[in-house]
């Protein structure tokens, strides 16, 4: 019995917390969601990411759903299993699931539930601060995806495919819901328009995302997918998704019983019929539209060679579309359905260009077979060339990496030498500074010397003058000496004279004393 949530939020649990499928999704389709009018005009969305990364919050904000969001204080509770809800006012089925981090990758299965040929992986980077540009994030993501894809073990026949054959990838950034709530709301509502506005250039749901199942048939489709998943359980769970331990045998059995009861006994055949109808519908409607346009644009009523070529090209596109859709789900009905599509295309051409036998179908198909064989040859050659190129590239990479090592060793040496040179330069600069300083000192000394020289010159000239003066004085002294000598001679003369006069005086005195004595004697007598 399908689990409806207690609060009547319109959300239904389609896989339970034990990761077992809930049986009667059909009941929701018929009653809760009422998908009967949707046909293929619908889309399925889900958000992947670690628990607590805001998946439920973003789903609710974008699609107006009411998926469970735990209380901020409630660390324990979280989304368990897979829940689904119709987005109010939109032909969108939103899935909320425990995702990466769950023990067996149940959330990944949501992506596998896709009912389209191609899936859009829209990476929403939350709490984006703008440090890394969207372009940068995109290129990082793309390189991670292609690396993951190249490590993926692909079913045989899909080895040649690239991730972009199955997935379109885009990146959007969202500001922090907690730190910038207004900006977050604005960004989310802008993003929402991309899911709603069919005329927008950025409309998320591209026409080439063919729906392979009518909306009211998705229950059987899901069951069939679960069947496929469980058949490839080991590969999906371990080699591809690396999501935890091998399921215990008891659990595996329970799972397989559940899926079998999910197949609605007999509805699988109906599902396959619907699937082929859908593939025929997509291929045929594209073909009819294309040749209708051809008829309109050329105005031609008669199929000439050129028109036949164009029609053939569209016919081939239609067959390719049919094959692309059905290639992963080949079934016994393939041949009958392909022939049916061929007949329908033929009928369409004859009704647009009545009364003409535009081509011999067998011929066209043979030609297409030949072309395809040629293409296969070409792709084999390309593959061989690619392998050779890869081999060569690996070799080159090795050589380049060796050279890179060598270069990096040399670069290290060069940088070592550069460091030394830098050191020496610094030493030289220091020496230059010292030399400059010494130069300055020398030039100061030079100035001082030249000043001193000037002083010396002045002193020299002074000395000359003084010498001259001295010589003059010497002459004067000489003259004075002569004069002194003359004076000395005069003095000596005078002294001699004085001595003479002294002698005379002494003689006179003696004479006078004699006289006096004589007088005294005379007197005394
Ligand atoms: N920082 C931040 N928190 C968010 C954002 N979106 C939701 N949250 C909070 O993260 C918690 C878990 O959100 P929920 O949507 O339940 O995460 P889920 O487990 O991935 O579904 C809630 O408390 C939200 O308020 C976001 O963009 N940034
Ligand atoms: Mg959640």
Instruction: Please name the residue ranges forming H helices in 152-266.
Output: 163-166, 181-196, 218-231, 233-234, 249-262
Instruction: Mark whether 125 and 164 lie in a shared domain.
Output: yes
| Same domain, yes or no: 216 and 299 | no
> What is the distance between the alpha carbons of residues 213 and 276, in angstroms, rounded to a whole number?
9
Most confident of 299-303, 352-356, 476-480: 476-480
Domain boundary among 319, 337, 359: 359
239 and 324 part of one domain: no
- In this structure, the residue with its CA closest to atom 23 of ligand 1 is 72
Of 48, 53, 56, 172, which is best to mutate to test ligand 1, by the most ligand atoms within 8 angstroms of its C-beta?
Answer: 53
Determine the atom of ligand 1 nearest the C-alpha atom of 69.
16
In ligand 1, the atom with minimum distance to the C-alpha of 68 is 16
Residues 130 and 219 placed together within one structural domain of the fold:
yes
The conformation of residue 29, written as its DSSP 8-state character, comes to I
> 210's torsion region: left (phi>0), alpha (psi -120 to 50) or beta?
beta
- Cα torsion 258, 259, 261, 265 to 10°: value is -170
Assess if residue 145 is contained within a domain: yes
What pLDDT is attached to residue 340? Answer: 92
What average pLDDT does the chain have? 78
63 shares its domain with 146: yes
Interval 200-211: pLDDT, tens: 888 998 877 777
Tell which wins on pLDDT, 186 or 12.
186
Integer CA distances (angstroms), 358 to 122, 280, 299, 427, 442, in order: 45, 22, 16, 92, 108
Q: Is 392 within a domain?
A: no
Report which of 252, 208, 182, 214 is spatially closest to residue 93, judged by C-alpha positions. Answer: 214
* More confidently predicted of 472 and 414: 414
| Tally of structural domains, the chain | 2
Domain CATH code at residue 197? 3.40.50
Residue 181 CB–ligand 1 contact under 6 Å: no
Q: Which domain holds residue 220?
A: 3-247
> Which of 29-43, 219-233, 404-418, 502-516 has maximum average pLDDT?
404-418
CA pair distance 152, 140, nearest whole angstrom: 18
- Least confident window among 17-31, 276-290, 473-487: 17-31
Ligand 1 neighbour 53 (Cβ under 6 A): yes
Tens of pLDDT, residues 16-49? 766 666 656 778 888 878 888 888 888 888 887 7
For ligand 1, atom 11: residue with the closest CA? 52
238 CA distance to ligand 1 middle (Å): 29
Q: Which residue has the higher pLDDT, 120 or 327?
A: 120
pLDDT at position 241: 39
Tell which atom from ligand 1 comes closest to the C-alpha of 176: 28
Domain boundary among 316, 337, 359: 359
Q: What is the pLDDT of residues 451-461, one digit of tens each?
A: 888 888 888 88
CA proximity to 353, closest of 383, 388, 306, 308 = 308
**Residues 89 and 141 placed together within one structural domain of the fold:** yes
From residue 374, alpha-carbon distances to 113, 119, 321, 380, 381 in Å are 35, 30, 19, 10, 10
* Ligand 1 closest atom vs CA 59: 15
Read off the DSSP letter of residue 67. -
Instruction: Answer yes or no: is the C-beta of 244 below 6 A from any ligand 1 atom.
Output: no
Is residue 248 scored above 70 in pLDDT?
A: no
pLDDT, tens digit (0-9, with 9 covering 90-100), for 47-91: 877 778 888 899 999 999 998 888 766 665 666 678 889 999 888
Atom of ligand 1 nearest to the CA of 71: 23
User: What is the CA 42 to chain-centroid distance, rounded?
Assistant: 34
Q: Does residue 243 share a domain with residue 280?
A: no
Mean pLDDT of the region 244-264:
46
Measured from the Cα of 51, ligand 1's closest atom is: 19
pLDDT of residue 391: 86
The least confident of 86-100, 226-240, 434-448 is 226-240
Which of 232, 19, 13, 25 is CA-nearest to residue 105? 19
Q: Tell the residue number behind the tokens 């080949």, with chain if given.
A: 330
Share of the chain above pLDDT 90, in %: 15
> Is the pLDDT confidence value at 251 over 50?
no
* 242 and 289 co-located in one domain: no
| Domain annotation covers residue 42 | yes
Cα 32 to its chain centre, rounded Å, is 44
CA of 104 to the centre of ligand 1 (A): 22
Q: Are strands 92-97 and 43-46 parallel, antiparallel or unpaired?
A: parallel
Does the beta carbon of 178 sit less than 6 angstroms from any atom of ligand 1? yes
Distance 473 CA to ligand 2 centre (A): 125
Question: From ligand 1's centre to the CA of 136, what distance in Å?
Answer: 24
pLDDT of residue 515: 83
85 lines ligand 1 (CB under 6 A): no
Tell whether 234 and 283 lie within a shared domain.
Answer: no
Answer whether 74 contacts ligand 1 (Cβ < 6 A).
Answer: no
If asked whether residues 242 and 283 sit together in one domain, one would say: no
Lowest-pLDDT range, 3-12, 388-397, 412-421?
3-12
The predicted structure's pLDDT at residue 195? 92
- Does residue 84 belong to any structural domain of this protein? yes
Q: Which of 56, 61, 69 to mutate to test the pocket of ligand 1 (most atoms within 8 A of CB)?
A: 69
Same domain, 239 and 281: no
Minimum-distance ligand 1 atom for the alpha carbon of 60 = 15
Quick check: is 92 in a domain? yes
Mean pLDDT of 290-298: 86
Q: Determine the pLDDT at residue 39.
A: 84
- 55 Cβ closer than 6 Å to some ligand 1 atom: yes
Rg of the chain (C-alpha set) = 58
Judgement on whether residues 233 and 284 belong to the same structural domain of the protein: no
Q: Which residue has the higher pLDDT, 133 or 228?
A: 133
Q: Is residue 327 part of a domain?
A: yes
Phi then psi for residue 170, to 5 deg, are: -145, 160
Tokens 């993501």 correspond to 141
- Is residue 424 situated within a structural domain? no
Q: Out of 207-221, 227-241, 289-303, which region has the weakest mean confidence (pLDDT)? A: 227-241
pLDDT of residue 190: 93
Query: Lowest-confidence range among 342-351, 426-435, 497-506?
Result: 497-506
DSSP character for 77? -
Nearest protein CA to atom 13 of ligand 1, as residue: 54
Q: Which of 197, 228, 247 is the last residue of a domain?
A: 247
pLDDT of residue 106: 44
Count of C-beta atoms within a 10 Å radius of residue 97: 26
Q: Could you tell me if the CB of 27 is within 6 A of ligand 1? A: no
DSSP code for 246: P
Q: How far is the CA of 382 from the centre of ligand 1 (A)?
A: 48
DSSP strand pairing (167-173 vs 119-125): parallel
- Give the lowest-confidence range in 22-36, 311-325, 348-362, 374-388: 348-362
User: Measured from the CB, is residue 56 less than 6 Å from ligand 1?
Assistant: yes
* 229 within domain boundaries: yes
Residue among 272, 289, 371, 373 nearest 326 (CA):
272
């Amino acid at each position: 019995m399908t689990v409806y949530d207690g609060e009547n939020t319109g959300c239904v649990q389609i896989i339970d917390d034990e990761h077992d499928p809930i049986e009667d999704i059909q009941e929701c389709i018929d009653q809760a969601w009422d998908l009967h009018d949707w046909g293929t005009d619908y889309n399925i969305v889900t958000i992947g990411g670690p628990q607590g990364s805001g998946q439920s919050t973003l789903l609710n904000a974008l699609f107006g759903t009411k998926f469970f969001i735990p209380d901020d204080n409630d660390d324990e509770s979280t989304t368990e299993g897979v829940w689904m809800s119709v987005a109010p006012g939109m032909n969108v089925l939103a899935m909320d699931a425990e995702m990466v981090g769950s023990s067996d990758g149940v959330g990944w299965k949501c992506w596998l539930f896709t009912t389209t040929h191609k899936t859009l992986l829209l990476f929403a980077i939350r709490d984006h601060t703008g440090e890394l540009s969207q372009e940068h994030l995109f290129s990082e993501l793309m390189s991670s995806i292609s690396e993951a894809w190249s490590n993926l073990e692909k079913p045989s026949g899909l080895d040649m495919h690239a991730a972009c054959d199955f997935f379109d990838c885009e990146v959007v950034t969202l500001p922090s819901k907690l730190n910038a709530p207004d900006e977050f709301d604005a960004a989310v509502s802008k993003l929402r328009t991309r899911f709603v506005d069919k005329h927008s250039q950025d409309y998320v749901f591209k026409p080439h995302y063919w729906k392979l199942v009518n909306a009211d048939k998705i229950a059987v489709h899901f069951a069939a997918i679960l069947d496929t998943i469980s058949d490839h359980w080991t590969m999906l769970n371990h080699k591809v998704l690396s999501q935890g331990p091998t399921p215990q045998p008891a659990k595996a059995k329970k799972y397989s019983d559940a899926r079998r009861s999910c197949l609605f006994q007999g509805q699988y055949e109906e599902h396959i019929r619907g699937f082929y109808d859908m593939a025929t519908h997509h291929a045929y409607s594209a073909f009819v539209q294309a040749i209708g346009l051809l008829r309109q644009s050329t105005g031609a009523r008669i199929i000439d060679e050129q028109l036949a070529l164009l029609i053939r090209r569209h016919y081939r596109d239609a067959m390719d579309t049919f094959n692309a859709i059905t290639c992963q789900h080949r079934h016994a009905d393939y041949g009958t359905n392909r022939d049916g599509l061929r007949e329908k295309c033929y009928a369409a051409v004859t009704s647009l260009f009545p009364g003409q036998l535009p081509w011999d179908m067998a011929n066209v198909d043979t030609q297409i077979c030949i072309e395809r064989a040629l293409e296969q040859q070409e792709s084999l050659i390309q593959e061989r060339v690619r392998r050779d190129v890869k081999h060569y590239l690996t070799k080159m990479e090795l050589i380049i990496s060796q050279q890179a090592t060598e270069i990096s060793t040399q670069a290290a040496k060069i940088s070592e030498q550069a460091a030394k040179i830098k050191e020496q330069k610094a030493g030289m600069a220091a020496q230059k500074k010292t030399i400059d300083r010494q130069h300055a000192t020398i030039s100061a000394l030079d100035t001082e010397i030249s000043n001193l020289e000037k002083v010396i010159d002045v002193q020299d000239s002074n000395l000359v003058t003084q010498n001259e003066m001295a010589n003059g004085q010497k002459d004067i002294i000489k003259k004075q000496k002569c004069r002194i000598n003359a004076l000395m001679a005069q003095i000596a003369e005078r002294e001699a004279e004085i001595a003479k006069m002294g002698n005379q005086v002494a003689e006179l005195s003696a004479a006078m004393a004699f006289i006096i004595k004589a007088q005294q004697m005379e007197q005394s007598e």
